[in-house]
Every structure is written in C-alpha cells, then in structure tokens.
Structure 1
Amino acid sequence: MFRSPFPDVAVPDATIPQHVLGGAAARGDAPALIDGRTGQTVTYAHLAYQVERLSAGLAEAGLRPGDVLAIFSPNTLLYPVVFHAALAAGATVTTVNALATPTDLASQLHDSKARFLVTVSPFLDRVTASQTQIPVFVCDQAEGYRSVSELLASTAPAPVVDLDPATAVATLPYSSGTTGVAKGVMLTHRNIVANVEQAQVPISYADDDRVIAILPFFHIYGLTVLMNMVLARGGALVILPRFDLAEFLGALAAHKVTRAMVAPPVVLALAKHPSVADYDLSALDVVFSGAAPLDGDLAAACAARLGCAVQQGYGMTELSPVTHAQPYGAQQNKAGSIGPLLPNTEARVVDVATGTDAGVGESGELLIRGPQVMLGYLGRPDETAATIDADGWLHTGDLGMVDADGDWYILDRVKELIKYKGYQVPPAELEAVLLNHPGIADAAVIAGHDADGEEIPHAFVVAATGSALTASDVIEYVSGRVAPYKKVRAVTFVDAIPKSASGKILRKDLRATL
C-alpha cells in the first residue's frame, strides 16, 4: 500500500455551499465570476446574495430537501448560482452533459428521479423532445417558462436545512465507470469538500488567480477543480460556454488569466497552433491538464512555447475527482507523471493477471482509498460492489505505476489495452509517439484486427494542414520508436478524432467505423 507524501488535511464538517461560499460575502467587491466574452462580472458579495435568494426561490417553487434538480446548460454566470442554491435548499444536483440527446436527457432525468430541470432557451428543443413532465426553468428568457431571474426575486426566507455532509448526496454526475452504460455517481457533500481541501495542497490556488473555465461545469473536473476550488479560495473564474480556440486565446489575453485548467487537446493546440503567437499570454502561470493522459514531450513543447509550467493530474468521477496532481511551484515535474498522491489518499497497484499487489516500478490496476471515494452508483448495488471492494478500495480500471520517488504514471485503461500476440500494448503510448510527428495534428489508437481476426494496433490519424503523410510513413515512423510488438499495423486518416467534452477519446466511435 502506498500513501501520500503530504500530511493529512482536516476535512471540515460542512456542506459544499457552507465551505465554498462561507466567506463569499466578506470578500465584497472582489470578482468571483467573469463572462469571458463580455466581461460582465459577478462579485463575491453578489454571488452570495444570488445563492441565498435563489435557494429561497427554489424552495418557494417546491424544491425540498432530498429532491433532485437537474442542470442542463453550458457554462454561464448562473451555473454556479443554481448549483449552490439547490444544494443550500437541501437538494441533490444532477449535472447533464450539454451535448446530451433528448434520449440521453430523458434517461438521466428518469434514472435520477429529477423533480426540476434548469436549462437555457437554446436547449429547449431537446428538453421538449425528451418529453419530460417535470417543471422547467430557464437561465435566460423563453415564452411559457419561468426564469431563474424570477426565482431570484423571491422575498421568502432562505431555507434552513439540517443534513449530514457524510451521507447526504450533493451531486449526481453520470459516468460509465470502468464498464457499462452511464450510471449516477453519488457524491456526498463530504466527498466534494474533502477533495477541495485535498487538491488545494498541490494545486495551490490563491485569491489573485484568474482561472479560465472552458472545462464544462457538468463534468466533475470542471465542477470540483474549477467551480468549487477556485471559489473556495477567492479566485476569479473567467467563464466561456464552450471551447473555441480564438475565443479561448482572446479571453486568456484580455482577462490576464493566470491558470488554465484544460484537457490534452487544448495543450496540443497551445503547443502547435500558429494563432497562439498572435496573443499576449504572459500572465499565464500554469497550464494544468487532466481528464486524459498527457504526453511528457507534448507538455514540454507547450511549456517551452508559452514560457509557463505545464502540469497534470489524475482522477475520475467516482473519486470526486482528484487523487494525484503535480505540485504547483515545483522546480521540475517528471515528464508524463501525474505527480504524487493527494493528502488523505492511499493507493495500491494490483497485477491485472494475478490480482497480487505489485511493487515500485511495476504496473497494474490502480486502486484508491480515501474520503473522496464515492458513496456508490445510484440504484446499482451490484455495480457498486464490483467497483468498491469490501475494504473500501475503489478499482479504477486504469493501469498505473509508481516510481521510487512516489511519483505516479497512468499507462492506459486496463480495458483499452491491445493484446498483440500475447503482449500488452497501451494505446496512450502509441498516441504520444504519433503526436510528436510534425505532420500529425491529432491521433488515436484502438484495437483493430488483422486478416486472421487477431488484435493489432490500429491508428486513426488527423494529418496536419499541408501534410502529404501516407499510411506507410506513419507505420515507419512509429516502428522506429517502439518495441517491435508495439508497432502500428494499420492506419486510417480522418478529419477529426471524436472526443468527449472533457477531452477523452471516444474509442467506441472509432471502433464503430471498422
């Protein structure tokens, strides 16, 4: 068993709004939320006021402790207000992917037993198509729908709620976990509060930080590491509804952003896209990557171009989400490492074939135990038991390794490993090699099959503009840089690699094309 090199932190016995926004009113006119497009700013004092008034408005509209409220929206200035107001009223918030189809939305609303839905008018076509029968509120204005601004005008007293932070489910994001269809991940107030305090040790936000928020708040990375961690420390969130490179770069420059919490595709753009040179990014102190593995060479290229630190961490929805992070201000972070374990966190590495514990420098499935481990999957006791064992260890489904210094590495998903003639080939390793080719803009590798039906590494490649790259060129390039059994043996050129909103490669979509 491995433990964090950091001393344990105290986990406050508080709800998320109490912990994150407890000092908001006292911060007065300090900026809390900034619209990255317009510059519209919400101060901490006004944020505290809005949360208090909206919690009263929601309670007056019928929201009760234990109810579930769904948020189906891109990042907006009102998203944190709705989230914290619902929690302050004692409800659970289920966050819906902004790209959800009507079927996806209907399924999540049904499974979570949501009683209210908060959305935006451009999403109402999908809300209508989902045929939901629950009350719907809009963050803007739409004929026939009550608005959040109407609820904010409530003069009713704010609800006073008594709940146990250790057992009350605060948020219910949906995740496919290590296997299967999307499931509701029950995260308590204590899970999130603990992770806010744990992750602050290496990430180390300050009250003068300005942090770009392009990661969606509906995703646990954006919810915890952006929304809640930044607000808990008094920093300012510069909010954009989606990632657009020009808009992103413009917001970084205009608002003197100091931290960019992103996913690997954004690091790739910062390292390679020519338009980056057109913007003054001198205020940027750290680019921090999560949600998917970041290659060390790509991180170094981005750092050299921007003149700032490029770091990464690791987590998953079921872990609230952070378990590892490279420390802020460290003189040197190891290439490809996700850093040490967070405080209060224990880990094991278990051999995939034998189930025995592996040691330093040996790979195996990563197991995690700590206060950030979810309560379980909503209504799925069997799947919960398959993920969290009797001793409280959460089985991540990720292949990991720790070195003698206590720095960790994620090699790939256990289930994504390609078995070529009995050898294990991690797709992420081959993707890192491919992305270092100047003629390749993006790439993904999955398990394809040869004429005999045996698994082989199959690369999907997006050629850089003007590149005359051929499949033979790609195969030859990789073969000179990896062990013979790891060579790419088939190549398909595509216009884009399908990815989730958090930046994870949608390998199932690629498999469907073969």
Structure 2
Amino acid sequence: MALASRFPDVEIPDVSVPEYVLAAGRDRPDAPALIDGLKGDVITHGQLAAYVDRVAANLHARGLRKGDVVAVFCPNTPWFPVVFHGIAAAGCVMSPINSLYTPDEIAFQLKDSGAKILITISLFLDRATAAAEKSPVDEIIVLDGAEGHANLFDLLGADAPSVQVDIDPANDLVTLPYSSGTTGLPKGVMLTHRNLVANVAQCKPLINIGEDERIIAVLPFFHIYGLTVLMNQGLAWGGAVVTLPRFDLEDFLRTIQDHKITRAFVAPPILLAMAKHPLVDQFDLSSLTSILSGAAPLDEQLALAAQDRLRKGADSGVSVGQGYGMTELSPVSHTTPDLGAEPPGFSGEVPKGSVGFAVPNTECRLIDPGTGQDAAEGERGELWIRGPQVMKGYLNNPDATAGTVDSEGWLHTGDVAVVDANGCYTVVDRVKELIKYKGYQVAPAELEAVLIGHPEIADAAVIGVPDKESGEELPKAFVVRAPGSEITEDAVMAYMTEKVAPHKKVRFVEFIEQVPKSAAGKILRKDLKNR
C-alpha cells in the first residue's frame, strides 16, 4: 500500500538547476550569496550569476558541449558553487570526486564517467595528475593556479560569448555523483535537472525561511547532501552559504558565532562534539535556530543532549532534528520540519529518533523482507520510495538500476523503517550490507577487491562492526592468509591505508581459515557477524 506524504504536493518548475537556484538572488543582487568562513571573502548573488555565465561561456569556448562530463575534485570553497552552476548552465554534467580519494579511486571515476576535464586545486594536483595518467582527460584546470595549467581566471575570462543551451530538465543530467547504492562497487548516479530542482522545491514547505538565512557549509559539496541541501537549497532561499574546507571544531564554532549562522546541516559526529566537547561553551551560538542531521542514523539521546546543551548554554531556541535520504534520491525523502511547518493536522513534536515526514510529492511503502508483501500497520518493513527525486538510473549499468528501481518506479532503499500514526518514519535497521561511517558509504565488496589484490592474501571478507563511541560502524576484515604467508594485522591495515581513502580504512583484522560462502559463492556475512 502506497503511503502518500502528509504534505500537499508542490509545483516543480520545468527549468534547469541554475535557473531555479539562482532565481531568488536576482531580487537581492547585492546580498551575500557565498562567504568564505575562514577568510571572510564574499560573492554576492549578482556576482554569482555573472560568474556562472562566464564559466559556462569559457567551458563552451574550450569545446565542451551538452552532456559532456566535467569532474570536480575540490574541497568546499565559495568557488565550488560557481563552478557547479557554470558547468550546469553549459549543459554539461558535473561529477564530484571525494576529496579523500586516492589516485586509483579518482582514476576509476574519471574513466567510468568519461570525464573530459578535471577541475581541482593545487593542494590536490599530485593526486589529480597521477589519476589522469591512468585515465587521461583533455585538461586539468587548477582553480588557485599551477604552472602549465589553466586557472579560475581563465574560467572567468570576459572574451568568450555567453551561451544559451536548450536543456530538457526531465532527461538531461546535471550531476553524476558516485555511490555504492544498496550494494557493490561505486556506480555513477544519474541525476537530472528535474531531480535536483524537485528536491529543493520539496523541502521548501518544511522550512520557515528568514530573510537573512546563513547556512554553514562544512559538509562537503562533493557529497549529494552538501550539494543539494546546503549549497543549492541555501542559494535558492536567497540566503548566504558560509563555506568551510573541512571540519575543525574550533573553526566551526567560531564561524557560527562570527557569521551569526542560523542553520547548520550536519552529520552525527559533529553533533557528538556539540553535545560533549568543552570548547562549545566558549562560543556564542545563540544565532542558531535549527540543526538538522543526516547522512547516518542519529541516536535519540545524542540529539536531546546536543539540543539541551545549546538551549541552556546560549539561551537559544535551537531545535535538533534528523532527515533521511540517499544519493539515488537527490538526496532527501524524509525530514523533520521546523516548528510551525508541520503537515496539516499534526500537533506535538517529532520524536528525536525519527527522520520525520516524507517530503511533498513522495510516496512510501514498507515491505516485509520475508514475505515481499506490504508490512502490517506499525510493523517494520524495507522502505521503498517513489517521487520526482528518484534518480534516472546508474550510468551504463541497467542491471544495477533494475535491482534498485523497479518497473513501477519504486526505489528500494535497503533500509528497514517503521511509521507511526502521525506519519513520522523511523529507520531501525538495514537490509543492505553497506557500512556507514561518518556519513560515508563504504562498500565491503570494494574493500574485499583491494584486499585480495595483496599477494599474501588468499581470500577476504569485510563487515561493519559497531563502534560504541560513535554509534556507527567500522570496517573489519576477515583475512585468509596465502600459503606460507605470515602477514600481520598491522601489515594488512598499513596496506589498506595506502590503497583507499581514510574513511574506508580497515580498522580491525581477524585471520580465519576460510571465508564462509553460500553454494552460489555469496559471502555469508551474517556468519561473520555472529562470530
């Protein structure tokens, strides 16, 4: 049985992402749109629109055309949104690359996406160059400059004529982030202009937007949460997005204080620090009205602890809530609304352990994993979602697409949820095997493939094991030594540290005689979890 959102449907404009997101700023051209949280540099809404026009023009002058992929390997800066919207306005597709990726991981994404240009910064140039040697691109642009490479000023050059590209929002891609989906190796998630426009429009009724909203953007723009919820949503409100290149607690707190941040979108590890770290008491955080957590499950007690501390410490009315989504959903399907923005007929408070309500234009089903039938009222079931935010599919992977989105348009999330009488959803478990660590998805299959590449490892399996301190999971490897090998735990972990990004590192190693597998060769992870 399909469960409709408790909110009325919203209109989804049939326009491109830049047209929709930058529209609010046209009435406030002199208001700040992007602020560097550390340096204080400002790009106004008027400047943003002008810079986007220039980037689109100069990409066309370089020979790029509609549908071409531009990879962006860059931390959060005020220029990231300029580059993203310039690529989008050119009709091209931006494929964001995780800032922590190794050259091998970058090379895989460059090749799989078919990227023609790689945009990066000088600090990342060594990895970018090493990746491009394995998966060549036409050009590497270094925003802050490097000898032999074009830079930001070349992208903002005045000579190239402006371009107008005919974009079909429902079918043309705007971004190609990579996700492990419900299982397996990373895959390109095809998100259209309509997907992203819809998701910003869907979230708008749940938020009491002030005239001078200031959103702190510490979660990375290369992650769909950062790209849609922090960057595009903030700009679409006509507010200011205040960027930080990485999370440092003192910088984060000082930026909230000095820039009078009104909203913070975070992941649970940041809330853990806000609930417990003594440094929090040294800053005035009273400007905050809302903290919303996503990307990983938020414990109810942690949410309450953070909220109580902030309300007490700064006499603030800040509320702490939680949302839910995934890359394949652009990413939001559920979230906790602001006070006063709840759906019609709802009274009370959304439970802290809940991910809130389905956003407008969204249908849900809860399917009993055992029977494949709709779960009974109040019973748990795998969460299926249908709506305009559901991805177009996985790039060049129809089998994986069909395994995630069925013929009726339902996206099977792999997460187990329950819904209460008010329509509040709580995610309680997951069917899928992915390990979620600090908001990132870690695919066991990917780590297993790297492990087996070691000459002294005959076989391997990876599972997530609970970390009591963070409430998240850490990757643990079960390793079968090759005959005659005496490889140690430390050697295995050191090998993985060299091969994968920090959030994918194996944290525990256990040597076993044989990896348990089914007759079909599937690793029996439940057997390993039960050890």
Correspondence list, 1:427-442, <5 A: 434=468, 441-442=469-470
From the superposition, tell whether residues 393 and 110 of structure 1 become closer, same or farther in structure 2 (CA, over 3 Å): same
CA distance in 2, matches of 1:242, 1:356: 44
| Paired position in structure 1 for 2:195 | 191
C-alpha contact (below 8 Å) 1:387/1:394 kept by paired residues: yes
C-alpha contact (below 8 Å) 1:115/1:134 kept by paired residues: yes
| Paired position in structure 1 for 2:29 | 28
2:328 matched to 1:318? yes
CA distance in 1, matches of 2:176, 2:113: 8
| Paired position in structure 2 for 1:351 | 368
Secondary structure at 2:104's aligned position in 1?
helix
CA distance in 1, matches of 2:434, 2:48: 46
| Paired position in structure 2 for 1:167 | 171
| Paired position in structure 1 for 2:228 | 224
Shift of 1:381: 0.3
Deviations 1:368-419 (A, max 9, x none): 000000000000001100101111100001111101111000112213599x
CA distance in 1, matches of 2:471, 2:375: 31
2:506 to 501, 509, 512: 509
TM-score, length-normalised on structure 2? 0.80
Secondary structure at 1:310's aligned position in 2?
strand
Secondary structure at 1:349's aligned position in 2?
strand
CA distance in 1, matches of 2:258, 2:93: 36
Deviations 1:145-193 (A, max 9, x none): 0012122023222111112100001100000000000000000000000
CA distance in 2, matches of 1:429, 1:148: 43
Shift of 1:443: 4.4
From the superposition, tell whether residues 352 and 429 of structure 1 become closer, same or farther in structure 2 (CA, over 3 Å): farther
Identify unmatched segments of 5+ residues in structure 1: 419-426, 435-440, 451-493
C-alpha contact (below 8 Å) 1:259/1:284 kept by paired residues: yes
Shift of 1:335: 2.3
From the superposition, tell whether residues 341 and 310 of structure 1 become closer, same or farther in structure 2 (CA, over 3 Å): same
C-alpha contact (below 8 Å) 1:338/1:410 kept by paired residues: yes
Correspondence list, 1:260-409, <5 A: 260-307=264-311, 308-330=318-340, 332-409=349-426
| Paired position in structure 1 for 2:121 | 120
Deviations 1:177-224 (A, max 9, x none): 000000000000000000000011213443311110001001000000
CA distance in 2, matches of 1:147, 1:18: 26
C-alpha contact (below 8 Å) 1:264/1:293 kept by paired residues: yes
C-alpha contact (below 8 Å) 2:24/2:235 kept by paired residues: no
Identity between Structure 1 and Structure 2 (%): 53
From the superposition, tell whether residues 513 and 250 of structure 1 become closer, same or farther in structure 2 (CA, over 3 Å): farther
| Paired position in structure 1 for 2:243 | 239
C-alpha contact (below 8 Å) 1:205/1:230 kept by paired residues: no
CA distance in 2, matches of 1:417, 1:403: 26
Secondary structure at 1:190's aligned position in 2?
helix
> Residue type matched to 1:129 in 2?
A
> Residue type matched to 1:63 in 2?
L
- CA RMSD in angstroms comes to 2.5
Secondary structure at 2:189's aligned position in 1?
strand
Correspondence list, 1:143-158, <5 A: 143-158=147-162
Higher deviation after alignment, 186-195 or 16-25: 16-25
Shift of 1:510: 4.2
Shift of 1:134: 2.4
C-alpha contact (below 8 Å) 2:465/2:475 kept by paired residues: no
C-alpha contact (below 8 Å) 1:412/1:428 kept by paired residues: no
Shift of 1:446: 7.0
2:139 to 135, 140, 151: 135
Structure scoring higher RCO (CA < 8 A, sep ≥ 6) equals 2
Shift of 1:342: 0.5
CA distance in 2, matches of 1:18, 1:129: 36
Secondary structure at 1:509's aligned position in 2?
coil
Secondary structure at 1:75's aligned position in 2?
coil
Higher deviation after alignment, 301-310 or 149-158: 149-158
CA distance in 2, matches of 1:313, 1:84: 25
| Paired position in structure 1 for 2:488 | none
| Paired position in structure 2 for 1:15 | 16
Aligned length: 448
From the superposition, tell whether residues 175 and 104 of structure 1 become closer, same or farther in structure 2 (CA, over 3 Å): same
